[in-house]
Amino acid sequence: MAISSVGVGSGILTQDVLDQLRAADEAARITPITLEIANEEDKQDALKIIDATMTNLTDSVNAIKTATLWDDREATVSSGTSVEVSASSKTDIQDFTIDVTTLATKHIEQSGSFATEDALVSGGAGQININIDGQDFTVDYTATTTLRELKDLINIAAGTKVDATVVQVGAGDFRLFMSSVDTGTTQDITVTDVSGTIDTKLSTGLSVIQTGVDAEFTFNGQAITRTSNKITDLITGLTLTLKETGSSDVSIAQDRTSILDKFDSFVEKYNSAITELDKMTKPSTESDDRGIFSSDSTIKSMKRAIEDMVYNVGGGVGSMFDYGFDIDKDGKMTLDKAVLETAMDDDAINTQAFFSGGDFIKDDLSVVTLNGAFTDISEVVEEYTKYDATLDLLKNSLSDNITSLEERKTTATERLDAKYEILKKQYIAYDLMINKLNSASSMFTELTNAQSTSQNS
């Protein structure tokens, strides 16, 4: 039977020889493809970082390009504690004084005294009617209804307008208190015993603890009356909450903090994007120092477009540098917020139009309608970042390249497998031949030696 292990017979054509030949072939045919795949995968990872920084940049741009950015308001009470104020977007910018003379109150009634909260309120079944603010509520009771249960029945029937509770005023002294949910002079509570069977302490025996009154205050000296201490109908977008009597000075202004935070965010996200693009497109003769996209025209073109856009936006009526923006020698952006705020103070309409779009009034009083600097910036960025735009195409190209390379690697590996399977079989055959030759040579040598020995004897 033939020996099948490579090199066992002769010790010449061994498996080590095949492995060395295979390694040399793989180094020439497989390793370059493997390295190409690794390089494309590194590009994919790098592109994810670029994509994230560009998404952050886009978000910061979108937060500024909308005209609603300038509508945010900040309400400040500069003196006094009589009022709390909040202002929604577009509330009129102004200063005013609120002088509170009377706070609105609820109407409160209390019953007569009961020995316990489980005391019965009637000797038979019946009804009471509760009237408040022009609304009637009917409450049914029975001969077994307790004071505590009547409280619950009132809250179920009239809870939208009345709060009922049982209070232990003292030892053996339990009383039903009914308070209007709302404040004002229209909140008087009237209880009528429809059936005439309820304990009089809950009808004619009720007493007023507090009368509902309207809030009274002045707005810049003008007398105002409202039924509630929370006032939302004085100025559109303004909510006043009266807290105590006294005078307070109020200022409604543009929310500069919110606006400047968004500008700061844009500068931060711009610099982050430029930093990554600088690193990834950096040219160098040293491979460890060279950016992974140093020879990629797509990423290099995007970097140039982002750098150039700062200089090109503005619609011909100015530049971002007029508003405190600057680019240093390293390509990083800075913002002098004092310059920006001065522009916002001196020419709010034109500043808003420059950044977010609208009518810009020039010195000669001619009007130029602008898209807005940040709308222009958004268009530049989105040429690369929007769906199916340049970055998406590059992502798809890298994926296609990797797929193609993996297919090439698989094909090349299969070819080497086939080649070395054939070569292995050939080595085994050659090894057997060599072994036979070695065996024949050995036999001939032994015969010769034996003949020589016999002749010498």
Alpha helices (H) along 313-389: 337-346, 348-356, 373-385
Q: Do 54 and 345 contact (CB within 8 A), yes or no?
A: no
Domain total of the chain: 3
List the one residue out of 101, 96, 214, 69 whose CA is nearest residue 85.
96
Distance between CA 11 and CA 15 in Å, rounded?
Answer: 10
Say yes or no: 271 and 373 in one domain.
yes
In a domain, 447, yes or no: no
List the one residue out of 260, 112, 119 whose CA is nearest residue 191.
112
Within 10 Å of residue 13's Cβ, how many Cβ atoms? 23
- For the chain, give the percent of residues with pLDDT over 90: 75
pLDDT tens digits for range 27-69: 999 999 999 999 999 999 999 999 999 999 999 999 999 888 8
Say yes or no: 204 and 263 in one domain.
no
The string over 170-191, giving b where at least 16 C-beta atoms fall within 10 Å of a residue's C-beta and e elsewhere, is eeeebbbbbbbebbbeebebeb
Give residue for tokens 């950015």: 69
Residue 445 makes CB contacts below 8 A (sequence gap 6+) with: none
In a domain, 408, yes or no: yes
Say yes or no: 343 and 392 in one domain.
yes
Say yes or no: 26 and 92 in one domain.
no
Greatest pairwise CA separation for the chain in angstroms = 157
Say yes or no: 315 and 222 in one domain.
no
Say yes or no: 222 and 284 in one domain.
no
Determine the pLDDT at residue 428: 74
pLDDT tens digits for range 335-389: 999 999 999 999 999 999 999 999 999 999 999 999 999 999 999 999 898 888 8
* Domain of 176, in residue numbers: 106-213
pLDDT tens digits for range 311-344: 999 888 999 999 999 999 999 999 999 999 999 9
Taking the CA atoms of 249, 255, 260 and 265 in sequence, report the sign of the dihedral they define.
positive
In a domain, 155, yes or no: yes
Say yes or no: 260 and 348 in one domain.
yes
Give residue for tokens 């309820």: 198
Say yes or no: 276 and 262 in one domain.
yes
Say yes or no: 249 and 278 in one domain.
no
Q: Which residues pair with 99 in a beta bridge?
A: 218, 247
pTM: 0.70
E strand or H helix at 135: strand 135-141
Determine the pLDDT at residue 386: 85
Say yes or no: 184 and 141 in one domain.
yes
In a domain, 450, yes or no: no
